[in-house]
A and B are shown apart, each in its own frame.
Chain A
Amino acid sequence: MSAAPEERGARLKPRPRARLEVDSVWRALAEIPDPEIPVISIVDLGVVADVRVAGNRVEVDFTPTFMGCPALDTMRHQMEDAVRGLGAEPVVHVVLDDSWSTDRITPEGREKLRDAGFAPPAPRSAGAPTLLQLERGPFGCPWCGSTDTRLDNVFGPTPCRSLRYCNACRQPFEQFKTI
């Protein structure tokens, strides 16, 4: 007598692949550098809000930073490629509410920014920034650590940065805006 139908069916299936774990998706996404500031990954940047795995389908909730940032499309495509690289089908949901703020940048991400010469954003705990705070606040220089710095321009080379100048080491530097 031949094998039971279930057994025959099992033999015809492709070799079972290890089930994709949420953690492996996070690890793959953590390999993606920010397109404009490649010292930091998009996971460090805090833009990956959630990852869900359902069979062969991986859903990623993506919370963009600045809405006019030209890197957003690149980030989305890179996430899709990373998921495909794991052999799964990506669905990236762009979440357009205010759940992303610069407070979502991880402590490791902040250190990486500082090491690369960008002053990480001040915490938002004090509420939305004000001109007085930008002019008088204790913003530290990423080069020498002095807080004797001044605001040169609220706007900088990209929407996410302001320009400051350090009076102590006489170096200009880029300060991440708090949003």
Chain B
Amino acid sequence: MNERAQLLLSLADDELILGWRNSEWTGIAPFLEEDVAFSSIAQNEIGHARALYELAARELGTDADALAFDRPLEEYRSAPLVELRRLEWARTIARHWLYETADAIRLDALKESDDEELAGIAAKIDREEVYHRIHAEMWIDRLLGTDEGRGRLDEALDELWPYALGVLDDALRPELVRRVEAKLGRAMQEVAPIARGRHEAELAELHEEMTMVRRSAPAGARW
């Protein structure tokens, strides 16, 4: 598989898996506004995944659904950060903000790419991601506003920090450190990134659930 297809699949897999994880809050978020927000963010992420899979599919001679749902778990290129199942609010917000911050850095780099198609799609995705970042930052500000919020957020951020670094390639990591430290007003630990190439144990259950419909109708269901 060429480098371009690998990059497209990494981006698409991140958005698909995170979209799925975000949708796990639908109906059970702490309050109604967050049900709506996380469902909407999930919908956007899965929309981005679809467009990216379509580009990758052209490269690989297949289609978007096959890439999203027919690959064995080991072939997914998602970052471990998005695979974690974290149905706890501080950790959800920590993951949301760390991912959106890392994703913004990655999209900025892609928008400058010589590959016009990739630069165009990155710019389009970024128009929507602005709202995810606004939402995430609003929550970071809110949690930083009380001692309890700050304490729980800090704990979650420290736990997820090696995973957050793992979303980006080496070259882009210093910018993530800079942005995160600037927002929090504290230094982050120097840790080894948990990068893509391995999977979290809890991805297995998600993969099983996500691919169930395709497996039940191998000839292709029509809706």
The smallest beta-carbon distance between B15 and chain A, in angstroms, is 10
Determine the chain A residues whose CB is within 8 A of the CB of B125 once the complex forms: 67
Using CB atoms, name the residue of chain B closest to A95: B120
Across the interface, B138 reaches (CB within 8 A) one of A97, A98, A129, A131, namely A131
CA distance A155 to B44 in the complex (A): 11
Interface magnitude class on chain A: 20 to 34
Across the interface, B44 reaches (CB within 8 A) one of A66, A97, A131, namely A66
Determine the chain B residues whose CB is within 8 A of the CB of A159 once the complex forms: 40, 43-44, 47, 128
Within 8 A of A (CB), among B11-66: 33, 36-37, 39-41, 43-48, 50-51, 54-55
- CB distance B51 to A98 under 8 Å? no
Determine the chain A residues whose CB is within 8 A of the CB of B128 once the complex forms: 66-67, 159, 179
- CB distance B37 to A153 under 8 Å? yes
The listed residue with most B CB atoms (<10 A of its CB), out of A68, A156, A163, is A68
- CB distance A68 to B127 under 8 Å? no
User: Does any Cβ of B come within 8 Å of A22's Cβ?
Assistant: no
Among the stretches B94-102, B129-137, B157-165, B189-197, the one at the interface with A is B129-137
The listed residue with most B CB atoms (<10 A of its CB), out of A67, A98, A128, A131, is A67
Within 8 A of B (CB), among A98-118: 98-101
Determine the chain A residues whose CB is within 8 A of the CB of B127 once the complex forms: 98, 101, 128, 179
The interface bits of chain A over 8-25 (1 if a CB of B lies within 8 angstroms of the residue's CB, else 0) are 000000000000000000
- CB distance B50 to A68 under 8 Å? yes
- CB distance B130 to A128 under 8 Å? yes
User: Does any Cβ of A come within 8 Å of B180's Cβ?
Assistant: no
Determine the chain B residues whose CB is within 8 A of the CB of A67 once the complex forms: 44, 47-48, 50-51, 124-125, 128
Using CB atoms, name the residue of chain A closest to B19: A68
Within 8 A of B (CB), among A125-165: 128-131, 134, 152-159, 163
Across the interface, B40 reaches (CB within 8 A) one of A96, A97, A129, A155, namely A155
The interface bits of chain A over 157-179 (1 if a CB of B lies within 8 angstroms of the residue's CB, else 0) are 11100010000000000000101
Determine the chain A residues whose CB is within 8 A of the CB of B137 once the complex forms: 131
Determine the chain A residues whose CB is within 8 A of the CB of B116 once the complex forms: 97
- CB distance B134 to A134 under 8 Å? yes
User: Does any Cβ of A come within 8 Å of B210's Cβ?
Assistant: no
- CB distance B120 to A154 under 8 Å? no
User: Assuming the A-B contacts A129-B130, A155-B36, A159-B40, are A69 and B120 also in contact, with contact meaning beta carbons closer than 8 angstroms in the complex?
Assistant: no
Using CB atoms, name the residue of chain A closest to B42: A68
User: Assuming the A-B contacts A67-B47, A67-B51, A68-B44, are A131 and B124 also in contact, with contact meaning beta carbons closer than 8 angstroms in the complex?
Assistant: no
Using CB atoms, name the residue of chain A closest to B36: A155
User: Assuming the A-B contacts A67-B44, A69-B47, are A154 and B134 also in contact, with contact meaning beta carbons closer than 8 angstroms in the complex?
Assistant: yes
User: Assuming the A-B contacts A67-B48, A67-B51, A68-B44, are A98 and B124 also in contact, with contact meaning beta carbons closer than 8 angstroms in the complex?
Assistant: yes
- 22 A-B pairs (CB sep. < 8 Å): A66-B44, A67-B44, A67-B47, A96-B51, A96-B55, A97-B117, A97-B121, A98-B120, A98-B123, A128-B127, A130-B134, A131-B134, A153-B33, A154-B37, A155-B37, A155-B39, A156-B36, A156-B40, A157-B36, A158-B40, A159-B43, A163-B36
